[in-house]
Amino acid sequence: MAISPTVSHPRSRFARVSRKVSRIAGHSGSFVLACALVLIWAVTGPFFHFSETWQLVINTGTTIVTFLMVFLIQGSQNTETEALLQIKLDELIRAVDAARNRMLVLEDLDEAELDALRGQFVELAAKDRGEG
């Protein structure tokens, strides 16, 4: 059985950005840059007499970065998890002769199509339980 290439699905702008930012943030150079910024901030303390404004700069900066990174990294993780799960399911569907290939692209179906398909499986489950 030949393996056909997976259909490329357009990603949302958020998914593309979150994946790119996650890669950049996870790079060792980003860690070194963050350490350098903290060091620069610490060294400038005496020049600003360790004022409240000086402290507020680091507190505000780290809070904003942390807040945004939580969403970006979660978005990236969600995308990667879904992709990995989808690959596994696609392989299982392809391996079972009786499986419907339509299941390979469920994420492309609109809500009405998904509801109709879900209804079919509810009916099948009811028949299997002897309810229908």
Query: What is the value of pTM for the model shown?
Result: 0.53
pLDDT of residue 6: 44
pLDDT of residue 8: 44
pLDDT in tens, 51-73: 999 999 999 999 999 999 888 88
pLDDT of residue 132: 60
Three-state secondary structure of 55-104: HHHHHHHHHHHHHHHHHHHHHHHHHHHHHHHHHHHHHHHHHCCCCCHHHH
**Sequence spans of domains, the chain:** 14-79
Task: Give the residue-averaged pLDDT of 7-28.
Answer: 76
pLDDT of residue 71: 86
